[in-house]
């Protein structure tokens, strides 16, 4: 049994991780301010005897100090997320995504606990390669475009975590998430799959940006949280960066057609300019495919659920949650 702190534990990924750690018999403290996390996400474990909930912000240093005391593992998932949300409030991005990470690393160094840092495929920026491995160069656009603020803030977090590992031997593991999807994800901050499912279930049209030929790989959150937990407990993973996700590419147009056929709907697909939704300063990433060899070699497995299986699970969840409301 270990004592675990999950910052952002009421978020989409955090709530699945909370559930898994409780199931595995651990003691879990969730720290969340419910800015993008939702109390509903934890409703099914509320009142669990091994769960402690701290409601507050990771920008509160007193609360952080209290939260870290006695922990064996910190899963640092809390962040300002959603590329657009982050671009719209750059100061909040610094306050949320950068300072608290360093405070937590410092506290973890004092208490000697393991540390998982949630990072993102956004750090690869516009890297033009077909498939990205962890040692690729980062290719951000100009700093005058706030669109890159999210990726930059997470890249700084990575540097911070690696620095604490190099200087103090802090056992850190960095995970770069690639399009994690599943039940409980909402479409408010971009997130294409919940948007397409909602649109297809509610008479459409399904809105595809640009020509729909942009490519993504979607991984089920259940497999992703298993990766997170196995990595942070693995000595081989310490001090390293891992791509975490699926390596099966699909175009967004293909995704739209698959969602429509899965919901058994005959709605139209409409193509719109990306800038219509995101503004002129925005640029989409055309291709986002991870190389997950390092993950597979370290864990002995990699996320393998197919898009079809993932969509079935999301659609079933969506239908049952709509019935419940």
Residues that bind ligand UDP (CB under 6 A): 83, 179, 190-192, 195, 207-209, 214, 216, 252, 274, 284-285, 288
Instruction: Work out how close the CB of 236 gets to ligand UDP at its nearest, in angstroms, rounded to a whole number.
Output: 29
Alpha carbon distance 285, 292 (integer Å): 19
Which residue number, 29 or 97, has a Cβ lying nearer to ligand UDP?
97
CB of 192 to ligand UDP, least distance (A): 4
Q: Cα–Cα distances in Å, from 7 out to 56, 182, 212, 317?
A: 10, 20, 35, 25
Report the candidate in 258, 249, 253, 145 with the shortest Cα–Cα distance to residue 207: 253
Please give the Cα distance from 238 to 231 (Å, whole number).
Answer: 8
Q: How far is the CB of 63 from ligand UDP (least distance, A)?
A: 30
CA dihedral 206, 212, 217, 220 (to 10 degrees): 0
- Which residues have CB under 8 Å from 203's CB, separation 6+? 265, 267
**What is d(CA 239, CA 206) in angstroms, rounded to the nearest whole number?**
42
Output 30 or 152, the one with its CB closest to ligand UDP: 152
Contacts of 85 (CB under 8 A, 6+ apart): 36, 189
The DSSP code for 137 is P
Least distance from ligand UDP to the Cβ atom of residue 209, Å: 4
* Placement of tokens 């890249």 in the chain: 155
Q: Which is nearer to ligand UDP, 42 or 252 (CB)?
A: 252
Closest CB to ligand UDP among residues 109, 275: 275
CB of 196 to ligand UDP, least distance (A): 7
d(CA 287, CA 267): 26
Distance from C-alpha of 212 to C-alpha of 32, rounded to nearest angstrom: 35
Active site residue 150: yes
Give the CB-nearest residue to ligand UDP. 190
> 130 or 236: whose CB is closer to ligand UDP?
130
Q: Which of 75, 99, 124, 150 is catalytic?
A: 150
Catalytic residues: 150
């Amino acid at each position: 049994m270990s004592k675990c702190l999950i910052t952002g534990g009421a978020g989409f990924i955090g709530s699945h991780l909370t559930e898994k750690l409780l199931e595995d018999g651990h003691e879990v403290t969730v720290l969340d301010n419910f800015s993008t996390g939702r109390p509903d996400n934890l409703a099914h474990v509320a009142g669990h005897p091994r769960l402690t909930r701290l409601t507050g912000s990771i920008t509160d240093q007193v609360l952080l100090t209290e939260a870290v005391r006695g922990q064996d593992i910190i899963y640092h998932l809390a962040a300002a997320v959603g590329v657009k949300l982050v671009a719209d409030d750059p100061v909040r991005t610094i306050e949320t995504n950068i300072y608290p990470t360093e405070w937590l690393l410092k506290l973890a160094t004092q208490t000697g606990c393991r540390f998982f840092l949630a990072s993102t495929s956004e750090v690869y920026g516009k890297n033009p390669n077909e498939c990205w491995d962890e040692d690729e160069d980062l290719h951000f656009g100009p700093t005058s475009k706030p669109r890159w603020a999210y990726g930059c803030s997470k890249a700084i977090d990575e540097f911070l975590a690696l620095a604490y590992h190099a200087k103090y031997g802090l056992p850190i593991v960095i995970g770069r998430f690639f399009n994690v999807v599943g039940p409980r994800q909402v479409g408010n901050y971009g997130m294409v799959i919940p948007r397409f499912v909602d649109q297809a279930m509610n008479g459409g049209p399904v809105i595809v940006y640009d020509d729909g030929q942009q490519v993504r790989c979607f991984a089920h959150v259940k497999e992703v949280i298993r990766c997170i937990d196995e990595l942070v407990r693995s000595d081989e993973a310490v001090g390293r960066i891992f791509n975490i996700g699926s390596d099966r590419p699909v175009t967004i147009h293909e995704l739209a057609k698959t969602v429509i056929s899965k919901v058994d709907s005959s709605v139209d697909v409409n193509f719109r300019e990306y800038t219509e939704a995101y503004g002129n300063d925005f640029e989409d990433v055309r291709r986002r495919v991870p190389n997950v060899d390092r993950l597979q070699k370290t864990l002995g497995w990699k996320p393998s659920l197919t898009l079809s299986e993932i969509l079935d699970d999301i659609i079933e969840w969506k239908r049952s949650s709509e019935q419940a409301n």
